DNA sequence: GAGAAATGTTTACGCGAGTAAAAATAATAT
DNA sequence: ATATTATTTTTACTCGCGTAAACATTTCTC
């Protein structure tokens, strides 16, 4: 390609010998122009390296090709993995994903939504902070922008996609009860609806199986779950106040902290003989296979959640609605048996 | 505020009784208008909730307020943490950070740079993939956009900010040699310049101390360092081919994998009596304090790297250059002693 | 090969703001 | 109060592209 930089579409139109409106159509949807034009345009693109100005494009299009993705905490591997998948799908569909992280803070979430809104996105995929969201702001946003809510089922938006907490918790509670002492439940701080849903699911599952539910609340705030788990673990082990030698944590990050506490206290974790504790998690975080011992957990179906979210959003964008009123899609978890329980 | 949505600045100008050019100035820099105007505008903003259209703004401004951030792998906690800090600083300075992740793939990196360039950013902060980058593309990008390179010192851009690998590796090698058997070095796949720099630093440090350097190459490709570390560890332990009972890993994620391998093989890791291995890492990843045992490592100064990068970029944007020709700022690491070595 | 259907070109206007220049007004100094 | 300076208002043009309408050309169908 030549060094020559092309300023705008008019210039490129002259050089490629194609009219500007046709070029405009091409860039909007390459299939919408005749094949002979397409090859001409693509040949010219090879030669001149022009790309349309994003801002000018989006200023005029009634529907932008921008898709906003807002997550509460991008440093959480759960979200970085799910975002990765979502981004991929958006790009493949010719959209332009823009990612925002609230970094666990209400103010930043509101800010992200405001910036996002000024981008006039075609739609948005958001996992709200939950309890710490500025509900008004989120609701206002979803009124203006077609939105699919995922992971954290706050009652806004046009659809929800997430995990079937009651199924997945039921699954692991059942497993733990079959193979040893019924578990107590180490609950994360209730940052979002999942926290309560999982606890309730635990209680129900235990009662269904005729056991006494034992919920321990790990105190602490924010999203540093490993630290919270570690501190709770140290405290519980030191004061010998664990109601069961089997502990189900409401997420893997908490479990990772708990495993660290057990290790530091010299307690062997696992399901074999000679083990003092069994620890299980929930989510199957990318790191859970590398813990010591590897963590038994319930896998959330990242891929399914990501794909269904994107698919649903595309449908909403296309038809300007879903067939049902705010459908909720939840995916079952799968038991992942490793050494920890 | 009233429900009424304001379409554009003209409309807002009428409602707030301030001329449009003055409003334009205000949104560009609130301090640039007279105080009396400012309070009037801000009162109107309270009342009407208007925000300028991002696309229209950026179309004409010679310098956008957009800052591009490109990292090789956002799911790596090192990058998510550093990005978090960079974003914060940009927002505080009135810029709009846009984050892209290459997800470890050359094609996606090139794509991200292309999209970013079409955003006409005021500047960019990029951590190139390194060996897997399309060097041509990256170089071309940095010619058009004022760029600070961080973490991975690929020879492009107007400045580099990163860690002083030779100091930090020297530090930990020294510590390990003082306190036990001199370490061998478990090297990560050479995805970027840091890989080789750290290995060379290790060799130098060992030679300086009069020991025989022993480098083990963990094979594997991509960014799944934990898995690579785990597999290398299993192999090395099973075949008893570890040249030293002390192992320095070229990063923490590799070390996390190695710790998992040691655990699974029943080898006790730590610096106390009764331990079969000592393991140390490099970076002080957010997870390193929760490993079993907690990981001894060298902390990279995330905050300093993030701040210096941003600061340098702002200087470049402002003066259109730095005082020196492509300065390189490197920060010393700090020894973090935990239980693993 | 004629007529219909599909696609392309020409022309012209709009989007929402940045920005420059001249005129008008306000704030400050003398 | 007058002169001086700092802002603001008015007016008008620009940016790069979407898009609509009228017309011209190509491609397809029988």
A111 CB neighbours in chain B (<8 A) are: 91
Top-confidence range, A57-61, B107-111, B184-188: B184-188
Domain presence at residue A198: yes
Q: CA–CA distance from B146 to each of A294, B38, B73, B313 (Å)? A: 45, 32, 22, 8
Query: A249: distance to nearest CA of chain B, Å?
Result: 16
Query: Chain A 294-323, CB below 8 Å of chain B: which residues?
Result: 294
Where do we find the tokens 């010719």? A94
Domain presence at residue B2: no
Give the number of other CB atoms < 10 A from CB of residue A4: 11
Domain presence at residue B21: yes
Give the containing element (helix H, strand E) for B217: strand B215-217
pLDDT of B136 higher than 60 = yes
* For residues A285-297, average pLDDT: 95
Contacts of B204 (CB under 8 A, 6+ apart): B166, B170
CB contact under 8 A, A260 and B292: yes
Cα–Cα dist B38/B25, whole Å: 11
* pTM for the model: 0.87
- Residues A198-235 have pLDDT tens digits of 999 999 999 999 999 999 999 888 888 999 999 999 99
- Taking C1' of C19 and every protein CA, the nearest residue is B21
Note whether A187 and A263 are same-domain residues: yes
Top-confidence range, A106-115, A245-254, B108-117, B311-320: A245-254
Cα–Cα dist A7/B188, whole Å: 43
Q: Which of B80, B227, B258 is the best mutation test for A, with the most CBs of A within 10 A?
A: B80
Cα–Cα dist A308/B259, whole Å: 36
What does the mean pLDDT of chain B come to?
91
Note whether B139 and B250 are same-domain residues: no
CB contact under 8 A, B84 and A91: no
- Per-residue confidence (pLDDT) for residue B244, from 0 to 100: 96
Q: Are strands A328-331 and A246-249 parallel, antiparallel or unpaired?
A: unpaired
- Per-residue confidence (pLDDT) for residue B4, from 0 to 100: 63
Task: Give the residue with greater pLDDT, B116 vs B156.
Answer: B156
Q: B323-335: buried (b, 16+ CB within 10 Å) or exposed (e) per residue?
A: eeeeeebbbebee
pLDDT of B192 higher than 90 = no
* For residues B196-222, average pLDDT: 94
Cα–Cα dist A23/B317, whole Å: 34
- Residues B162-175 have pLDDT tens digits of 999 999 999 999 99
* For residues A98-124, average pLDDT: 87
Q: How many CA atoms lie less than 13 Å away from A266 in the CB half-sphere? A: 1
- Per-residue confidence (pLDDT) for residue B322, from 0 to 100: 66
- Per-residue confidence (pLDDT) for residue B177, from 0 to 100: 97
Q: CA–CA distance from B188 to each of B131, B145, B226 (Å)? A: 13, 31, 10
Q: Is B148 in contact with B161 (CB distance < 8 Å)? A: yes
Of the candidate ranges A52-56, A242-246, B139-143, B206-210, the one whose mean pLDDT is the lowest: A52-56
Considering only the beta carbons, identify the residue of A51, A84, A263 that sits closest to B292. Answer: A263
- Residues B298-335 have pLDDT tens digits of 999 999 999 999 999 999 887 776 667 899 999 999 99
Note whether A47 and A84 are same-domain residues: no
Cα–Cα dist A127/A150, whole Å: 5
Domain presence at residue B246: yes
Contacts of A155 (CB under 8 A, 6+ apart): none
Note whether B21 and B135 are same-domain residues: no
- Per-residue confidence (pLDDT) for residue A4, from 0 to 100: 63
Local structure of residue B119 (DSSP, 8 states): T
Q: Which of B51, B120, B292 is the best mutation test for A, with the most CBs of A within 10 A?
A: B292
Query: A84: distance to nearest CA of chain B, Å?
Result: 8
Backbone angles phi, psi at A329, to 5 degrees: -105, 120
- Taking C1' of D10 and every protein CA, the nearest residue is B19
Domain presence at residue A189: yes
Note whether A196 and A293 are same-domain residues: yes
- Per-residue confidence (pLDDT) for residue A203, from 0 to 100: 98
Note whether B320 and B218 are same-domain residues: no
Cα–Cα dist A67/A97, whole Å: 5
A49 touches chain B (CB under 8 A): no
pLDDT of A240 higher than 90 = yes
Domain presence at residue A73: yes
pLDDT of A182 higher than 90 = yes
CB contact under 8 A, B77 and A77: yes
Copy the structure tokens of residue A264: 């530091």
Of the candidate ranges A162-166, A274-278, A315-319, B176-180, the one whose mean pLDDT is the lowest: A315-319
Note whether B155 and B280 are same-domain residues: no
Cα–Cα dist B253/B285, whole Å: 8
B27 touches chain A (CB under 8 A): no
Q: Provide the number of structural domains found in chain A.
A: 3
Give the containing element (helix H, strand E) for B157: none
Q: What percent of chain A has pLDDT over 70?
A: 97
Backbone angles phi, psi at B20, to 5 degrees: -60, -45
Give the containing element (helix H, strand E) for A96: strand A96-101
Rg (CA), chain B: 25
Note whether B143 and B240 are same-domain residues: no
DSSP for A35-80, please give it: HHHHHHHHHHHHHH-----HHHHHHH-SS-SEEEEEES-TTSHHHH
- Residues A23-34 have pLDDT tens digits of 999 988 888 898
Note whether A262 and A230 are same-domain residues: yes
pLDDT of A2 higher than 80 = no
Alpha helices in chain A (DSSP H): 9-16, 20-28, 35-48, 54-60, 77-92, 106-118, 135-144, 165-179, 193-208, 225-238, 252-264, 302-319
Note whether A46 and A110 are same-domain residues: no
Copy the structure tokens of residue B159: 């400045």
Nucleotides of C under 7 A from a protein CB: 7-12, 14-21, 26-27
A103 CB neighbours in chain B (<8 A) are: 84, 87-88
Query: B84: distance to nearest CA of chain A, Å?
Result: 7
pLDDT tier at A175 (50, 70, 90 boundaries)? very high
Q: How many Å from the CA of B159 to C1' of D18?
A: 39
CB contact under 8 A, A52 and B294: no
Q: Is A191 in contact with A133 (CB distance < 8 Å)? A: no
pLDDT tier at B103 (50, 70, 90 boundaries)? confident
The dihedral sign for the CA sequence A39, A40, A44, A47: positive
Domain presence at residue A232: yes
pLDDT of B62 higher than 80 = no
List the CATH number of the domain containing A275: 3.40.50.2300
A264 CB neighbours in chain B (<8 A) are: 292-294, 339
Contacts of A49 (CB under 8 A, 6+ apart): A1, A2, A5, A6
Domain presence at residue A336: no
Note whether B319 and B247 are same-domain residues: no
Note whether B173 and B107 are same-domain residues: no
Q: Which residues form the domain of A320?
A: 66-163+303-330
Q: What percent of chain B has pLDDT over 90?
A: 62
Q: Which of A120, A281, A292, A338 is the best mutation test for B, with the most CBs of B within 10 A?
A: A292
Burial tier of B310 (Cβ tally within 10 Å: 0-12, 13-18, 19+)? buried
- Taking C1' of D27 and every protein CA, the nearest residue is A34
Q: How many Å from the CA of A8 to C1' of D15?
A: 10
Cα–Cα dist B166/A287, whole Å: 29
CB contact under 8 A, B103 and A91: no
CB contact under 8 A, A263 and B293: yes
- Per-residue confidence (pLDDT) for residue B223, from 0 to 100: 85
Secondary structure, 3-state, B60-85 = HCCCCCEEEEEECCCCCHHHHHHHHH
């Amino acid at each position: 390609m030549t060094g020559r930089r092309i300023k705008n579409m008019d210039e490129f139109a002259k050089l490629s010998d194609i009219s500007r409106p046709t070029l405009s159509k091409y860039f909007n949807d390459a299939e919408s122009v005749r094949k002979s034009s397409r090859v001409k345009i693509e040949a010219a693109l090879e030669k001149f390296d022009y790309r349309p100005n994003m801002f000018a494009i989006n200023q005029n299009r009634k529907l932008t090709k921008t898709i906003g993705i807002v997550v509460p905490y991008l440093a959480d591997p759960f979200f970085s993995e799910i975002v990765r998948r979502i981004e991929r799908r958006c790009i493949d569909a010719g959209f332009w994903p823009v990612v925002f992280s609230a970094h666990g803070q209400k103010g930043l979430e509101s800010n992200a939504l405001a910036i996002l809104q000024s981008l006039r996105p075609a739609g948005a995929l958001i996992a709200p902070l939950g309890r710490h969201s500025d509900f008004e702001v989120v609701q206002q946003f979803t009124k203006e922008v077609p939105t699919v809510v995922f992971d954290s089922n706050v009652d806004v938006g046009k659809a929800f996609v997430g995990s079937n907490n009651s199924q997945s918790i039921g699954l692991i509670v059942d497993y733990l009860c079959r193979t040893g002492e019924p578990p107590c439940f180490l609950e994360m701080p209730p940052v979002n609806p999942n926290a309560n849903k999982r606890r309730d699911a635990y209680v129900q599952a235990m009662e269904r199986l005729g056991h006494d539910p034992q919920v321990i609340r790990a105190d602490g705030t924010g999203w540093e779950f490993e630290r919270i788990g570690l501190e709770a673990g140290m405290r519980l082990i030191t004061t010998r106040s664990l109601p069961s030698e089997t502990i189900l944590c409401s997420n893997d990050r908490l479990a990772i902290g708990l495993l660290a506490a057990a290790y530091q206290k010299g307690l062997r974790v696992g399901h074999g003989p000679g083990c003092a504790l069994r620890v299980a998690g929930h989510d199957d975080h990318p790191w859970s296979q590398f813990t010591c011992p590897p963590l038994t957990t319930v896998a959330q179906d990242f891929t399914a959640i990501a794909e269904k979210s994107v698919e649903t959003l595309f449908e909403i964008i296309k038809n300007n609605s879903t067939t049902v009123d705010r459908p909720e899609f939840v995916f079952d978890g799968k038991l992942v048996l490793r050494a920890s329980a």
